[in-house]
């Protein structure tokens, strides 16, 4: 009887866990679809700005293109900045482990260099604190769906610090959303901006620019930095939600399998108890 009571209690606990994980899976699915729409909607804008910058740089001429965001500081400082984007909440499978392992390996490979580490997300803060790696700044202002205003404020800080010659390079380590079945950690060089595509070989189209291309570049290059950083955040959110969706589906399936196993054990224990009771009744009848 005690064994049956124990199995019944475990069955109830597994059933409760299954309901929770199923609900979390549905919530993650809904958030993933919304985040995917946002990332998909912002991608063409990001690509178009990069294309336009390339056309402008090509029209201005490779020798005349000069901007602090493209060239970097005149005198290298030997100092870099790495921003690592992780999640604040857990239960998302190997999402955080993959990105943190990649970032940690990057820091190991550059132990002799001065790299300021900044982190988005509580999971990253806990990881680097446990590994005794100093975090220069922890950005806790971002919600589960970072807005462009929040990212814009951070990008403007980076642009100002880079333009002042504080860093030689600023990189972002985040998860790149490739497809529903594949997400991979990647590094994006935020500053200095990579040489615009199309700057070599002349412009692919004929444009009449007003004002001059170099003046337009002065406006577009900061926007390029902001959109690239915003796209990194969007793809990180999409990857986090799909990782949580997959993890919760696996947890739900495991709870279902465990529930079936426990029900079989319960039925066997119940059958054994009934058999024992029948034996006792028969034995008592024979004794009379």
Task: Residue 39: name the closest of 257, 234, 226 by CA.
Answer: 234
Find the helix or strand (DSSP H, E) in which 103 lies.
helix 95-109
Q: Superfamily assignment of 23-247 in CATH?
A: ATP synthase, F1 complex, gamma subunit (3.40.1380.10)
Looking at residues 97-115, what average pLDDT do you find? Answer: 91
Token digits for 259? 């529930």
What pLDDT sits at residue 5? 84
Is the pLDDT higher at 277 or at 123? 123
Lowest mean pLDDT among 27-31, 215-219, 233-237: 215-219
Q: Which residue has the tokens 């007003």?
A: 210
What pLDDT sits at residue 118? 94
E strand residue ranges, 1-150:
79-85, 114-120, 137-139
Find the helix or strand (DSSP H, E) in which 36 lies.
helix 2-60
Lowest mean pLDDT among 41-45, 123-127, 162-166, 181-185: 41-45
What pLDDT sits at residue 135? 92
Task: Residue 243: name the closest of 125, 139, 87 by CA.
Answer: 87
pLDDT in tens, 162-221: 988 899 899 999 998 888 888 889 999 888 877 655 545 555 556 666 666 667 777 788
User: What gap in Å lies between CA 277 and CA 77, rounded to an integer?
Assistant: 85
User: What gap in Å lies between CA 45 and CA 280, rounded to an integer?
Assistant: 80
Is the pLDDT higher at 209 or at 253? 253
Distance of CA 187 to the CA centre of its chain: 12
What pLDDT sits at residue 200? 52
Distance of CA 44 to the CA centre of its chain: 20
For every residue of 154-219, DSSP letters joined together read HHHHHHHHHHTTS-SEEEEEEEEEEETTEEEEEEEEEESPPPPTTSSS--SS----SS-HHHHHHH
Looking at residues 119-145, what average pLDDT do you find? Answer: 90
Considering the chain, what percentage of its residues have pLDDT values greater than 70? 87
DSSP state of 141: -
Is the pLDDT higher at 245 or at 288? 245
Looking at residues 233-255, what average pLDDT do you find? Answer: 91
Q: Mean pLDDT of all residues in the chain?
A: 84
Contact 189, 169 (CB under 8 A): yes
User: What gap in Å lies between CA 184 and CA 28, rounded to an integer?
Assistant: 19
Looking at residues 70-99, what average pLDDT do you find? Answer: 87
Residue 119 phi/psi, 5° resolution? -130, 140
Is the pLDDT higher at 103 or at 59? 103
Distance of CA 9 to the CA centre of its chain: 38
Sheet with 79-85, side-by-side order of all strands: 137-139, 114-120, 79-85, 169-179, 182-191
Helix, strand, or coil (residue 80) = strand
Is the pLDDT higher at 283 or at 154? 154
What pLDDT sits at residue 19? 92
């Amino acid at each position: 009887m005690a064994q049956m009571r124990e199995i019944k209690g475990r069955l109830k606990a597994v059933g409760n866990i299954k309901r929770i994980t199923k609900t979390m899976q549905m919530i993650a699915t809904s958030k993933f679809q919304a985040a995917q729409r946002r990332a998909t909607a912002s991608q063409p804008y990001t690509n178009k700005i990069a294309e336009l910058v390339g056309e402008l740089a090509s029209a201005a001429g490779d020798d005349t293109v000069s901007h602090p965001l493209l060239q970097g500081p005149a005198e290298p400082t030997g100092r870099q900045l790495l921003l690592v984007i992780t999640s604040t909440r857990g239960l998302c499978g190997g999402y955080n482990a993959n990105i943190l392992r990649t970032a940690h390996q990057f820091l190991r490979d550059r132990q002799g260099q001065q790299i300021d580490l900044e982190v988005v997300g509580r999971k990253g803060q806990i990881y680097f604190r446990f590994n005794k790696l100093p975090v220069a700044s922890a950005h806790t202002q971002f919600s589960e769906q970072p807005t462009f205003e929040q990212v814009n404020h951070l990008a403007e800080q980076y642009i100002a610090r880079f333009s002042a010659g504080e860093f030689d390079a600023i990189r972002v380590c985040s998860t790149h959303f490739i497809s529903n079945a594949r997400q991979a950690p990647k590094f994006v060089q935020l500053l200095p901006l990579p040489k615009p595509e199309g700057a070599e070989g002349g412009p692919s189209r004929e444009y009449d620019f007003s004002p001059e291309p170099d003046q337009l570049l002065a406006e577009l290059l900061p926007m390029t930095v902001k959109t690239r950083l915003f796209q990194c955040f969007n793809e990180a959110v999409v990857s986090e939600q799909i990782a949580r969706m997959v993890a919760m589906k696996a947890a739900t399936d495991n709870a279902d399998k465990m529930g079936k196993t426990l029900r079989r054990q319960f039925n066997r224990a119940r059958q054994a108890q009934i058999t024992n009771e029948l034996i006792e009744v028969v034995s008592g009848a024979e004794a009379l």
